[in-house]
Structure 1
């Protein structure tokens, strides 16, 4: 069954969620514009705004006003959400994936 699902649309899945992709963009460039995040991740700007709001509400990021722009602070010590990975923190994920 799994091979049938993958053969239908092999390009349609990813190892990371949209939330993780947005978080990674914010961690790499804290002053990035959400329209640029949307272009990078392949979502609408409205979708990215929803994800940013959810990440902020859940305590994973803080938005700070910096003039006319926002600056995003990623809280790297927050635990990952699923119980299978809750022993790890956001910073652990970022260390694995963020470009240096």
Structure 2
């Protein structure tokens, strides 16, 4: 099992909800344990965030054996009035592009 990174201190630009949603977008069959490690959160915090996202219609899940398969609702509008014209899909597109560039850079330097 991988070591969990130290938690972030201080404020950040992205919320934990956005981080969890981005982690699910990159692997819709990911485990809560893996999301927690990636986002530097506890498993309990990730469960709460997933519950929040499902309650507000951003995310659904289906049980597949002992695992969950998550489905993001891409047309859902972001909650804050300043981003009321931005969809989840548009936000995730930006984050996925960033992660892809970072992965490419890591591959070249390894």
TM, length-normalised to structure 1: 0.86
Q: Aligned to 1:81, what secondary structure does the other structure show?
A: coil
1:12 to 10, 13, 24: 10
2:44 to 26, 46, 51: 46
Q: Distance in 1 between matches of 2:30 and 2:11?
A: 25
Deviation string 1:62-88 (CA, Å, 9 cap, x unpaired) is: 011111100000111000000000111
Structure 1: gaps of 5 or more residues: 1-10
Match of 1:74 in 2: 72
1:94 to 92, 95, 104: 92
Q: Distance in 2 between matches of 1:51 and 1:94?
A: 16
Q: Distance in 1 between matches of 2:86 and 2:45?
A: 26
Structure 2: gaps of 5 or more residues: 1-8, 101-110
Displacement, 1:52? 0.2
Matched length: 90
Q: Aligned to 2:41, what secondary structure does the other structure show?
A: coil
